Each structure stands twice: as C-alpha cells, then as structure tokens.
Structure 1
Amino acid sequence: MSRVLYSLCGADSSVRFSPHCWKVILALKHKGLAFEEQPVGFTEIPTLEDGFSKTVPILKDGDKLIADSFAIAIYLEQTYPDRPSLFKGEGGLAMARFVEAWSQSTLHPAVTRIAVKHIHDMLAPVDQAYFRESREARLGATLEEVATGREAEISGFSEKCTPLRNMLKFQPFIGGSEPLFSDYIVFGAFQWAALTGNTGLLDPNDPVSNWFERCLEFSEKG
C-alpha cells in the first residue's frame, strides 16, 4: 500500500516548516510506517486530491484520505493497532487533547508573532501574496507591525514553557519514559520556530531544550 504525506514548504522545497505536518511525520515514524513526503506551497493546497482539504497535512493511505494532524493520529492508531501506540490508551488520548489545546493557545500565537515575517520571506512570490493577505486579515495588523513585537515575544517565550519544564523534572518525555503523540504536538511548535530561522529561544541547558533534542534525534531516524 502506498502512503503519501502532503506537507507544507517554502520556496525551497526541502524546508518543511509546518508544525502540524511535523506532528504527522513523527506519528508515522512512531508507528514504523513507510511514507513518501510530497511538499507543496500554500497556493498548491487547493489543487491536491480534487480539493480534498484547504490545509495540510493530508495523508493518503492507499485509497483513504485524511486531513488534520490530530485526525490523522487517531486514524493511524485505529488502523494500525498492532504498531506502537501513539496514545497508550484513553488517558493518553485525553492528555494529547489537553496538550494540543495548550500548544495552540500558548505556543502557536507566540511563534506566529516571532516567525511570521520570516515565514513570509522564505515563501515563493505567489505564496507570499497569499500569506500576507490571509495572515494580515487574521492578525489585524501588517506583518511588519506584528514583527515589531518580536523581541518582546522572544523574551517572554521561556516563561510560556514553564509547565513543560516543570513536568520534565520527573520524566524525559511528556509521554513518560518514551515519546507519545503529546510530545509530537509540542515538538511541532518548536520545530516550526527552528526551521523558520528562530533558534535560541531557550537556554541550551534548559530541560525543554534537552527534551527537544531528544525528540529531534527521533525525528531524524529512518
């Protein structure tokens, strides 16, 4: 069975920065499932699979299409129960939903304000026009105006990671002794920042930095 993951890229197709796509990449690796990644720009998404979804990631698993990173993770868990679990039960699924809500409400807005201008600048011209129009409408300000608060957002980023940092005093991963989908959710946000040129948001000796490196090692396998 062929398996294709449509993911987001900039003008350089090797730079795939979407946090949601990274969640799925690590979920597929966690399950030990082979896949081909097909990177696309923002304006190509509506042409994929007869307009199946307005956003990526989109996973094509044989003749099955699934969009949305969390929905894909649940699909993988249900379709491949004999493979390593992404949630390890109902409690792990509930934890992942909580982590998703925290990441989306706390980390994603911060990374958006830190990285939005960088993201624009790394896109192909046709995608730059789309990105500027859509993001300025969403944010209620120009990209340049949003970018003026970048340094203040960077200064406050470490504090936003306090819950994660405190938890990592007791275990190496959000999932416990090994990473689960909850880890991949948060990793996606950090990888998004890193791949859009925003490294060094945390001290290298920060427990969160060490956790990110452990997740990064896993992401580079296979």
Structure 2
Amino acid sequence: MTRILYSLCGSDPRRPFSPHCWKVSMALAHKGLDFVEKPVPFTEVPKIENGFSKTVPILRDGQLLVRDSFDIALYLEDTYPDRPTLFAGEGGKALSRFVEGVSQTLVHPVLSKLAVKNIHDMLDETDQVYFRTTREQYLGRRLEDFEADREVETAVLSARLDPLRHMLKFQPFLGGDGPLFADYILFGALQWLRITTGLAALRADDPVSLWFERCLDLHGAVGRAVA
C-alpha cells in the first residue's frame, strides 16, 4: 500500500514549502510510515482527488482520504497506535491545540509578511497571478511593500517566540525529552520561512534556533531534505 501526501510547491516540485504539509511529513516520519509526497501548485490543489479539499495537506492512506494537518495527525495516532506516539495522551492533544492556536494567530501572520513576496517569486506565472491577486486583496498592500518592513517584522517574530524560549529552559522539545506533534506545528512554521526566504530570522545561539536545528535533524534529517 502506498501512502500519498499531497502538498504545496511553487514552480519547483522539489521544494514543498507549506507549513501545514511539513507538520504531516514530520508526523509520518515520527510514526515511521512510508509515503510518497506529491507537491502541487496553488491552482492545482482544487483538482486533487476529484476536488476532495480546497487546501492541502491531503493524505491518502489506502482507500481513505484525510484532510487538515491536525486531523491527519489524529488519524495517524488512532490508526497506528503501535508506532511512536504523536501526543502521549490527551494532555499532548490539548498542548498541540494550544500550540496550533499560538502558531496560527501569533506566528503565522508575521511569517506571512516576511515570506509573501518570496513565495510569489517561487511560483510559475499562472500561480503568480492568482497569488498576487488574492494576497494583495486580503492584505491591502502590494507584495513588494512588505520587503521594506522585514527588520521590524523579524523583531516582532523574535518577541512572539519568547514563550517557546521559556519552555526550552526546562526541556529540549515541547514534548519533553523528545518531540511530539506540538513540536512539528511550530517547526512547520519556521521551516516555511527557511525554505521560502532562506532568512536567518534568529541568532544561531538563540534557544529557538537550537531547537529548530534539533528538529531538522530528526528522523534521518528529513527536515533538511529541502535546502
């Protein structure tokens, strides 16, 4: 049986960049489950699996299709309980929901501003038109305007990661001595920035940078598969 993970890419399918898809890639690697990744551009996503979902990730596991990164993680946990746990119980699920909220409401908005023009430049022409039209309408500014604010937004990002720095004083991962899905949520966000911009937003000796490097090395360094 071949598992298929549908993810997001620009003009180069070798460089999938969606933070939500990276969560699932790490979760599958954590569980030790083989899969084939099929990255597609923005405008092709609605055509995947006969329009199963308007967004990725989508996981096909045999005859079953699952959408949404958190729902996929829950599915993997329930379906493969004999494999390493992604949550370590109900408390880990609650932690992951909290981290998801922090990531999507506080971290992702800053990352979007830092990466939005770079993402546009990674796309082919058809997707560039779609991306520019939808993002500029939503953000109310030209994509180029965000590049001038990078220094300010980088400082905002650093400040919003202070709670993670606090936790890392006591343990190497959000999950404790080892990673859980909560780690992969924030990892996916910073991996998004790394792949789309190559921006070193934090000092190399920052506790968050050191944690991110540990995550990149997990599961045979699957996070480093995209340079």
- Residue 104 (1) aligns with residue 96 (2): no
Structure 1 residue 103: Cα displacement: 0.4
TM-score by length of 2: 0.95
Q: In the alignment, which residue of structure 2 is the partner of 1:72?
A: 72
Q: In the alignment, which residue of structure 2 is the partner of 1:120?
A: 120
- Residue 131 (1) aligns with residue 131 (2): yes
Structure 2: how far apart are the matches of 1:136 and 1:54? 20
Structure 1: how far apart are the matches of 2:123 and 2:192? 14
Structure 1 residue 10: Cα displacement: 1.1
Give 1:143-154 correspondences, 5 Å limit: 143-154=143-154
Structure 2: tracts of 5 or more residues without a match: 223-227
Secondary structure at 1:82's aligned position in 2? coil
Structure 1 residue 155: Cα displacement: 2.5
Going from structure 1 to structure 2, the CA distance change for 1:2 and 1:88 (only over 3 Å counts) comes to same
Going from structure 1 to structure 2, the CA distance change for 1:219 and 1:141 (only over 3 Å counts) comes to farther
* CA displacement 1:89-111 (0-9 Å, x = unmatched): 00000000000000001110010
* CA displacement 1:105-150 (0-9 Å, x = unmatched): 1110010000100100111111111111111122122212333322
Structure 1: tracts of 5 or more residues without a match: none
TM-score by length of 1: 0.97
Structure 2: how far apart are the matches of 1:146 and 1:201? 15
**2:99 is matched by which residue type in structure 1?**
V
Question: Does the Cα contact within 8 Å between 2:30 and 2:219 map onto a contact in 1?
Answer: no
* CA displacement 1:167-219 (0-9 Å, x = unmatched): 10000000000000000000000000000124210010011100000000115
Give 1:173-188 correspondences, 5 Å limit: 173-188=173-188
Q: In the alignment, which residue of structure 2 is the partner of 1:27?
A: 27
Q: In the alignment, which residue of structure 2 is the partner of 1:37?
A: 37
Question: Does the Cα contact within 8 Å between 1:115 and 1:198 map onto a contact in 2?
Answer: no
Question: Does the Cα contact within 8 Å between 1:9 and 1:41 map onto a contact in 2?
Answer: yes
Number of residue pairs the alignment of both structures matches: 222
Question: Does the Cα contact within 8 Å between 1:114 and 1:151 map onto a contact in 2?
Answer: no
Structure 1: how far apart are the matches of 2:118 and 2:199? 12
Q: State which drifts further: 141-150 or 60-69.
A: 141-150
* CA displacement 1:71-90 (0-9 Å, x = unmatched): 10011011111111100000
Question: Does the Cα contact within 8 Å between 1:56 and 1:67 map onto a contact in 2?
Answer: yes
Structure 1: how far apart are the matches of 2:156 and 2:139? 19
Q: State which drifts further: 52-61 or 149-158.
A: 149-158
Secondary structure at 2:153's aligned position in 1? helix
Secondary structure at 2:92's aligned position in 1? helix
Secondary structure at 1:2's aligned position in 2? coil
Structure 2: how far apart are the matches of 1:164 and 1:206? 11
Secondary structure at 2:16's aligned position in 1? coil
Q: State which drifts further: 193-202 or 60-69.
A: 193-202
